[in-house]
Structure 1
Amino acid sequence: MKKNLYSTLKQLTCLISLILVTVSCIDRLDFWQETQEGQLIIYGLFTDSEDKHLVNISTTAPLSFRPKGISNAAVYLLTDGEEKIAYLNKGNGVYELQGIHAAEGKSYAIEVILNGTTYRSSFQELPSAVGKDDLSYEVAYEPFKSSEDEYVFKVFTKSELPETKDQLFIRWVVEEAHYWQLLWIPPATPPPPPCFIFDVMDPSRVNLFDGTVTSNRQTESLLATRKIDNAFLFPYFVTVKQLSIKREAFQYWEKINIVINNQGSLFDIPPAPVVGNIVNTENPNELILGFFEVAKSSISRFYVTSEISPIYLQPICNFIPGKPTNQYPSECLSCEARAGGREWTSITPDWWVYD
């Protein structure tokens, strides 16, 4: 039981990383079978923002490993007007769509063709309203991922949610981005390109708000916590995406949250894969993990510097005369090594602006 629970939690944490609570009535969890290696995961998010929109396709991997990206699929956005728009294959299981965004009153789905098999999601309509976040942070000394106290960085929001005649369901996703400076040996070589590393902050936390159980349109929440480490050596950006979603998507994330927080008691709901809204069109009994959601979005962002850290952050990539290059950590020599499987780029993001 414990082994199965741990395996399920690892897979769900990886699923949430690919993409980021109140109690309400939800549907029964679908217990088809235990999560096994090689099961297909399809997750996509399409919003009304001008940002890029991604679909991630992968298969579940052995315990403690990230899902394996699938890069031989064809992915299409479907509209309720029967328009079909192809996603661009970016490699490693990531498919990207730019130059288009969700429009009010429209519904969307995705279609994935993989090895001759077609997978399709249900249609999701873009919600009509979303709120705004007023973000803040706190540095605390408390237990985190262990029984020992350590310094952590915590992100909070005070949210103003809209008055709307439609049912309101909100999910928050917190993303982090940090700059990393590679080893530079002056004057023999030019400065290396910068590294911008992106990740989901506190991926096992699911932040939800159910507007059908309260009339309150103001809420305060802890959104994410992470350990203070050398990611804070340079400017560190936090991006919070408030996503207004439909009930079906909200219930999916509630189920994910239940499984993540399940402690494995004999009286608890047993661990199991969470069935989303994507099916094999020819074999509906195939278990497909993941979900395609359409959301109205509101994006808030702030940054901090190393000045917030109560501990000394040791630079590890500063050039030391006479020290051989191979004696520096690998993360000092390449952005890919520093990223460790996370998304990264050497191109400065448009929003990377600080005083």
Structure 2
Amino acid sequence: MYKRLIYLLLLVQVSCIDPYEVTVAEGPQILTIEGTITSAAGPHTVRLTRGATYGSVFEGLIRPVTGATVIVRDELGNVTYLSENLENRGDYQSPASFSAIVGRSYTLQIQLTDGKVYSSFPEKVNNVPPIRNLTYQSERIPVEGEINDASGVSFIVDIDDPAEENNFYFWRNSPATYVLETRPDLYVDRETMSPAPKDCCAVCYKSETTGNSSFFIANDDNFNGLSTRIKAGFILDDGLRFVNTYRVDLRQLSISAEAYRFLRLVKQQTEISGSVFDPPPANIRGNMISLDNPDEVVLGYFIAAGETSQRVYINGAELDFRQNVGIIADDCRQVEGSVFDPPVDWDPGA
């Protein structure tokens, strides 16, 4: 009886505790500027976004910054205006005829609708060594807790590094196109859930922007003036990309030492393993500043670089390892980004 009474008294005390409410001040919406211009033909893109910080009701939401005036200016005073892409708001593009000139320095300048002005530090366009050879190979990646490995295709470049200068390399993928194979004969009517095979179409050409799975960068401290082979890219196999033929241009950029240091820090932070030995994540300052308030935190980096590229067609049948084929039970033309006719410059035999 006494034990039951003590239990009831403890229960009443616990139930009367008021919850402690924590109030966190709403953080600022940080402007992020991502932009690259190169010596290759345009258009070149600068993207403006704002991300809400911890404490905001919009935390984690990235919003485009629209209506800005964006220009690129070289040291001779030549100005190029970038116009906003109305389909992808927040993206500002140069004219297709614009390309950076090797040896010149460029500054990105931005004025927002509220009158605030931002500028980059000047970035010099360096000459880029050519890609002497580009090869590819399968790469398997063990996944913790999974029986089957992930996999993809790695790109390996051969370059002859110039001896008379310190070079910094950055590799990126262009938008890619591949042969998409689907199974319209397996189509099922969504309303009746009964088989309704379609006569067309099983083969299309799908375009996509994959990007690399990481930042592929290098400096020539260990191979200055020598010929070397470097891993310069990786594309994940999703069970569709490498069933038939996959085409992509690998872009090799010669960037500044400051841009290299920025990308190296971003790469290190994105590859944090999650252990107690990892450094704490932090905002990495780039080369953009506010002319109205130099103490304002502005994220991102404006890159100006020399560029060369090389196109490669990947024959899926030649890969040592591929994922199980993904099944799309529908007309391939129903897949976003797919068309029936190949691009006019599609030429796997070239």
1:114 to 103, 112, 115: 112
2:212 to 184, 193, 201: 201
Q: Residues 75 and 133 (structure 1 numbering): CA distance in 2 closer, same or farther, change over 3 Å?
A: farther
1:313 to 325, 330, 341: 325
Give the drift of 1:194: 5.8
Q: Residue 40 of structure 1 aligns with which residue?
A: 31
Alignment partner of 2:208: what SS? strand
Q: Residues 198 and 61 (structure 1 numbering): CA distance in 2 closer, same or farther, change over 3 Å?
A: farther
Give the drift of 1:300: 1.4
Give the drift of 1:146: 6.2
Higher Rg: 2
Give the drift of 1:69: 2.6
Conservation of the 8 A alpha-carbon contact between 1:158 and 1:220: yes
Give the drift of 1:261: 2.6
- In 2, the alpha carbon distance for the partners of 1:189 and 1:279 equals 54
Alignment partner of 1:291: what SS? strand
Per-residue CA deviations over 1:88-109 (Å, capped at 9, x if unaligned) read 2113221111201111221111
Q: Residue 304 of structure 2 aligns with which residue?
A: 294
2:73 is equivalent to residue 72 of structure 1: no
Conservation of the 8 A alpha-carbon contact between 1:158 and 1:218: no
Q: Residue 43 of structure 2 aligns with which residue?
A: 52
Per-residue CA deviations over 1:177-233 (Å, capped at 9, x if unaligned) read 23457998999999999642222031xx12222224543523323332513422334
Q: Residues 76 and 193 (structure 1 numbering): CA distance in 2 closer, same or farther, change over 3 Å?
A: farther
- In 2, the alpha carbon distance for the partners of 1:132 and 1:214 equals 15
Aligned residues between the structures: 300
Q: Residue 89 of structure 2 aligns with which residue?
A: 92
Q: Residue 15 of structure 1 aligns with which residue?
A: none
1:258-269 to structure 2, matched below 5 A, reads 258-269=268-279
Conservation of the 8 A alpha-carbon contact between 1:142 and 1:149: no
User: Considering only aligned residues, what root-mean-square deviation do their CA atoms show, in Å?
Assistant: 3.6
Q: Residue 28 of structure 1 aligns with which residue?
A: none
2:114 is equivalent to residue 103 of structure 1: no
- In 1, the alpha carbon distance for the partners of 2:284 and 2:243 equals 38
- In 2, the alpha carbon distance for the partners of 1:125 and 1:182 equals 47
Alignment partner of 1:99: what SS? coil
Ranges in structure 2 where 5+ consecutive residues have no aligned partner:
1-26, 185-195
Ranges in structure 1 where 5+ consecutive residues have no aligned partner:
1-35, 320-330, 339-344
Alignment partner of 2:210: what SS? strand
Give the drift of 1:315: 4.0
Per-residue CA deviations over 1:280-312 (Å, capped at 9, x if unaligned) read 110111111110111111101212244346455
- In 2, the alpha carbon distance for the partners of 1:79 and 1:287 equals 25
Q: Residue 11 of structure 2 aligns with which residue?
A: none
Q: Residue 6 of structure 2 aligns with which residue?
A: none
- In 2, the alpha carbon distance for the partners of 1:266 and 1:121 equals 35
Q: Residue 220 of structure 1 aligns with which residue?
A: 229
Conservation of the 8 A alpha-carbon contact between 2:246 and 2:315: yes
Give the drift of 1:75: 1.2
Conservation of the 8 A alpha-carbon contact between 2:201 and 2:333: no
Alignment partner of 1:230: what SS? coil
Q: Residues 211 and 350 (structure 1 numbering): CA distance in 2 closer, same or farther, change over 3 Å?
A: farther
Q: Residue 160 of structure 1 aligns with which residue?
A: 159
Alignment partner of 1:258: what SS? helix
Q: Residues 263 and 189 (structure 1 numbering): CA distance in 2 closer, same or farther, change over 3 Å?
A: closer
Q: Residues 333 and 69 (structure 1 numbering): CA distance in 2 closer, same or farther, change over 3 Å?
A: farther
Q: Residue 9 of structure 2 aligns with which residue?
A: none
Task: Letter of the 1:303 partner, please give it.
Answer: Y
Alignment partner of 1:88: what SS? strand
1:230 to 223, 237, 240: 240
Conservation of the 8 A alpha-carbon contact between 1:57 and 1:93: yes
